[in-house]
Amino acid sequence: MFISRSSRYERQLTPAKRFRNNTRFTTPPAHQSQSPLFALPAEIRQLIFKELFGSRLVHIFFRQRGEKFGRAGAPGNARIPGFVHCVCRRERGVVPHYHEEKSHKWCFLSTSLLKTCQSAYIEGIPILYQTNTLSFRCPRDIVFFQAQVETFSKLAQAIDLHCAKTSCRDELPHHNTANHPWALPRGQFDAYFEMMWSNKDLAISARHVRLYFETEQTDDFYVAFNVRTLLRSDVVPAAQIQVFLQGNSNSMVDESIKLTSTPDKRRRIAVSANTKISECHGEVSGED
C-alpha cells in the first residue's frame, strides 16, 4: 500500500501548520493592511498573543450538573453542564493539582482578540493550545474535552492530570463525592484513563505529560496498572512523561518501567516520589 505524496507532506507538518492549512471559512480572510496589529512582524504578534492568552497553567474541567461556584469573579451558575477554565497563578512547574475555589482566585485568559477576525483566529489558536499547560482533574474531563474540541486538542503540547485518591476506589465515601462530584469509582477511572491513550480519534498527542497519583490509601498495583498503559509503544511515543507519587517510591511502578518499556520509552519517563500538592496548590495563603 502506497502513501500519497500529499499524505506524506501532511504528516511532516507541525500541528500548527496543519491546523492553519486545514482551517476553512465560508469567505476568505480580509486583507489587514489597515490593522496596526498585523503591521507588526509575526514574531511580535506572537509575543502579544502569548501575553494575552498563552504560556500559562490553565485548569480545565467539566462542570457537573448542580456544581456551583461562590467566589468573586466565578462563572455564572449555568443549568447545562459544560467546560470551565481558570488560570492558575502558580508556575507551570508545580505538582499537578485540581482547581478548588478556596485556593484559586478566578482568572481567565484574554481570548477576545481571537474573535475579531479570521487572521487573528488562525494565528492565535495554535498559541492558545500549544503554549499553555492544560491541567485536568480527572481522565473523564480529558476525554470529553478531546471529543468536543478535537481539532484544537490535537494542538496541545503540555497536559497535567491529577489522579485523586478518591478516584481510585470502587465505592466512594459520601463526604468525598459531595466535595468532589467529579470523582470516579475505580472501574470508570480506569476505563477513561485507557480511552485517553488508546482511542485513535481522541488520543493525546502532547509532548509533555505529567500525572500526579495520590497513593496514601491505594495499593501499589493500582498505580502500576495505570502507568503500564503509558509504557505501550503506541502511547504518546515522543512525549516526556513525568509521574508524581504522593508516597514513597512505588516498587511495582519501577519494575513495570524496567520490564515493560522500550529503552527509548524508559528514557522518556521519570518518577518522582514523596511529592505533595499542599505546598504548591493554588494561591499563597493570605493573598487578596
Residue 155 within a domain: yes
Q: Tell how many helices (H) and how many strands (E) occur in the chain.
A: 11, 7
pLDDT (0 to 100) of residue 164: 67
Cell numbers standing for residue 198: 488508546
What's the number of CA atoms in the CB half-sphere (13 Å) around residue 106?
11
Question: If you write DSSP's letter for every residue of 147-166 in order, what string do you get?
Answer: HHTHHHHTT--EEEEEE-GG
Residue 288 within a domain: no
Residue 3 within a domain: no
pLDDT (0 to 100) of residue 108: 96
pLDDT means per 10 residues, the chain with 288 residues, are 46 69 72 87 96 97 82 80 91 89 91 93 94 95 91 91 62 49 81 88 87 69 85 88 83 83 89 74 47
Q: From CA 240, how far away is CA 160, in angstroms rounded?
A: 12
Residue 158 within a domain: yes
Which single residue is written with the C-alpha cell 491529577?
Answer: 162
Q: From CA 49, how far away is CA 273, in angstroms rounded?
A: 36
Residue 180 within a domain: yes
Residue 7 within a domain: no
Bridge partners of residue 62, in order along the sequence: 83
Residue 32 within a domain: no
Q: From CA 98, how far away is CA 137, in angstroms rounded?
A: 5
Count up the domains in the chain and report the number: 1
Range of the domain at 215: 41-67+79-116+132-272
Residue 167: closest CA among 143, 191, 195, 134:
191
pLDDT (0 to 100) of residue 59: 97
Residue 35 within a domain: no
